[in-house]
Amino acid sequence: MASSWRSAVRALHAVRTPSVARTYSSQVAPGRPVASAASVAVGVTAPAPVVEVVGPYRRERRAERKRQRKATKRRKQTESIAARLGVTEQKVAPLVRTDHQFKTFKPITPSIRWVRHPLQTELHRGRPVRALTVAKRSKGGRNHHGHITVRGRGGGHRRRLRLVDFYRWEAGEQRVVRLEYDPNRSAHLALIEHNETKRLSYILAPDQLSVGDTVQSYRTMADSSEGPSSSSSLDLGIFRTHAIRPGNVLPLRLIPIGTTIHAISLQPLGPAKLVRAAGTTGQLVAFSNYRQPDEALEEGETRNATHAQVRLSSGEVRLVPVNSCATIGVVSNKDHQHRRLGKAGRSRWLGWRPKVRGTAMNAVDHPHGGGRGKSKSNKVPRSIYGYPKKFQRTRKPGTRGGNRMVLRERPRRNGKRVGKS
């Protein structure tokens, strides 16, 4: 009798196995006892073992919780006040502080305490078009002899040169595909696609140009025989209504006085040379004859004009041929001058090496070097090569027999101009 009781206990312990404990509720009916084979063989009616009913595995539970979190997040986004008003919320990192113009960081390290970058949410976050780039070999400020001709250059991140179209000869409408960052210049680039030829090209992105806009080049009208006549004010006014838009290229003779322009060419068949940096702009001031530059012509008398007077961002006013072309608008990235790098390493990424003051050098290395203490015996400020750096002109001024294309020089010495006023 005792042996039969012990065998029944062993049978009960054998029933509680991991395989039974992991049985789903669908396999075992709730409330029904499970009789083991050992208990039936012995003839003893064993009590029903407690079967642990376990739900889905851990992986399935994690997936279910992830789906619930996504659904809750999606519901909050659709039911928020910003979504009801049609305002898109920008996703930022928890350590990033943004306002309407700049992006700063929470100072968890000394290097990012003073960092300030302009907001550039409209820029493309991928790679450029490979066919429109070429490799850039760093020179480190050396010429073909290996001598340093530009000090303070070297290192930096690897770059590829973007092939920017400064000619804009292809006529027809072109659609803006995207806006891109260019590491080789301060302004942004716009990737445009021709509607008919489907040809891609890079141009300087003007301010207020967005993806999907249409730009067009009217450079083929640089010849006076083509395009609307300057004498016909009606045709010229209708043409300007459709053509004077940011990103369009027109000859200077077809642009109204007072228009802001950039990417100005100095020759009718040449590329854009002036006003290409970020935030810069020029303004068409007047039309004049090269032989009588001081006498400005009226806007209806541009047929006799040979040059246009353009005021640059520096305040300089110079003559440009009327058949030269310019782009309408202001160059993009206007807040580039207000950025702060925050640390010295960021300058090294850009290829800028540290600068050493002349007073900290020896007398053999710099005109300001040598001596005891900080006294330099009232020496005239000079460069490392001995040329005057302040208070003396190193080239002929543009209005005194130098460059006759410059009508008025930029302001110097607290707003006073040198030369003609």
* Pairing outcome for strands 292-297 and 282-289: antiparallel
Q: How confident is the model at residue 98 (pLDDT cuts 50, 70, 90)?
A: confident
> Please, which residues have CB within 8 angstroms of residue 406's CB and are 6 or more apart in sequence?
316, 317, 318, 319, 398, 399
SS3 content of the chain, % helix, strand, coil (to 5): 25, 25, 55
Residue 298: pLDDT band by 50, 70, 90 thresholds?
low
The pLDDT value given to residue 344: 93
Please tell me the predicted confidence (pLDDT) of residue 6: 66
Segment 63-74 mean pLDDT: 91
Q: What is the tens place of the pLDDT at every residue in 321-345?
A: 999 999 999 999 999 999 999 999 9
In tens, the pLDDT along 210-238 reads 999 999 999 988 665 556 655 566 688 88
342 to 19, 104, 105, 249, 345: CA distances (angstroms): 62, 10, 11, 38, 9
> How high is the pLDDT of residue 379?
77
Burial 22-55 (b: 16+ CB within 10 A, else e): eeeeeeeeeeeeeebebbeebeeebeebebeeee
> SS3 for 244-310, per residue?
CCCCCEEEHHHCCCCCEEECEECCCCCCEEECCCCCCCEEEEEEEECCEEEEEECHHHHHHCCEEEE
Residues 6+ apart with CB under 8 A from 379: 367, 368
Residue 204: name the closest of 328, 332, 324 by CA: 332
User: Is the model more confident about 414 or about 155?
Assistant: 155
> Helices (H), strands (E): how many in the chain?
7, 19
Give me the pLDDT at residue 29, please.
46
Average pLDDT on 265-281 reads 95
The DSSP bridge pattern shows strands 307-311 and 317-321 to be antiparallel
The answer to whether residues 388 and 380 touch, using CB atoms and an 8 Å cutoff, is yes
pLDDT at 402 over 80: no
- Residue 41 confidence (pLDDT): 47
Q: Tally Cβ neighbours within 10 Å of residue 270.
A: 13
Residue 30 has which token pair?
Answer: 């709730």
The mean per-residue pLDDT over the stretch 391-408 comes to: 70
Rounded Cα distance, 39 and 60, in Å: 37
- For residue 371, the model assigns a pLDDT of 84
Distance between CA 286 and CA 301 in Å, rounded? 11
**Predicted local confidence at residue 93, as pLDDT:** 64
The mean pLDDT value for 279-286 works out to: 95
Mean pLDDT of 89-102: 71
For residue 39, what pLDDT band results from cuts at 50, 70 and 90? very low
Reply yes or no on whether the pLDDT at 1 is more than 80.
no
- Res 421: pLDDT: 40
The C-alpha atoms of residue 239 and residue 284 are separated, in whole angstroms, by 18
| Residues 204 and 189 sit within 8 Å (Cβ to Cβ) | yes
Q: Taken in order 156, 163, 271, 310, is the CA torsion positive or negative? A: negative
256, 321 Cβ separation under 8 angstroms: no
Q: What is the mean pLDDT of residues 139-153?
A: 94
Residues whose CB falls within 8 Å of the CB of residue 87, separated by 6 or more in sequence, listed in order: none
Structural domain boundaries in the chain: 2-42, 90-119
CA distances (Å), 264 to each of 162, 303, 325, in order?
Answer: 19, 20, 6
Q: Any residues with CB less than 8 A from the CB of 223 and at least 6 apart, and which?
A: 323
Contacts of 192 (CB under 8 A, 6+ apart): 174, 175, 176, 177, 200, 201, 202, 203, 215
Q: Could you tell me the CA-to-CA distances from 9 to 33, 38, 50, 237 in Å, in that order? A: 17, 10, 15, 106
Identify the band that residue 399 occupies on the pLDDT scale cut at 50, 70 and 90: low
87 vs 191: which has the higher pLDDT = 191
To the nearest whole percent, how much of the chain has pLDDT over 70? 73
- pLDDT at residue 294 in the model: 58
> Between 117 and 27, whose confidence is greater?
117
Asked if 281 contacts 297 with a C-beta cutoff of 8 angstroms, the reply is no
Q: Does an H or E element contain 345, and which?
A: helix 344-349
Residues 32-58, mean pLDDT to the nearest whole number = 53
Q: Is residue 351 within 8 Å of 184, Cβ to Cβ?
A: no
Give me the pLDDT at residue 87, please.
Answer: 64
Q: In this predicted model, which residue has the larger pLDDT, 8 or 366?
A: 366
Q: What is the pLDDT of residue 222?
A: 67
CA dist 320 → 252, 312, 351 (Å):
9, 12, 35
The fraction of the chain above a pLDDT of 90, given in percent, is 49
| Distance between CA atoms of residues 421 and 215, nearest Å | 38
Is residue 300 pLDDT above 60, yes or no? no
Span 100-133, pLDDT tens digits: 788 898 999 998 999 999 988 899 999 999 999 9
Higher per-residue confidence, 339 vs 55 = 339
Residue 258, pLDDT > 70, answer yes
d(C-alpha 274, C-alpha 222), whole Å: 18
Residue range 85-94: mean pLDDT, rounded: 63
pLDDT for 239 beyond 90: no
Residue carrying the six token digits 């009217």: 218
Q: What is the pLDDT of residues 343-396, one digit of tens each?
A: 999 999 999 999 999 989 999 999 988 888 877 667 788 899 988 887 777 666
Euclidean distance between CA atoms 323 and 290, whole angstroms: 13
The rounded mean pLDDT for the chain is: 81
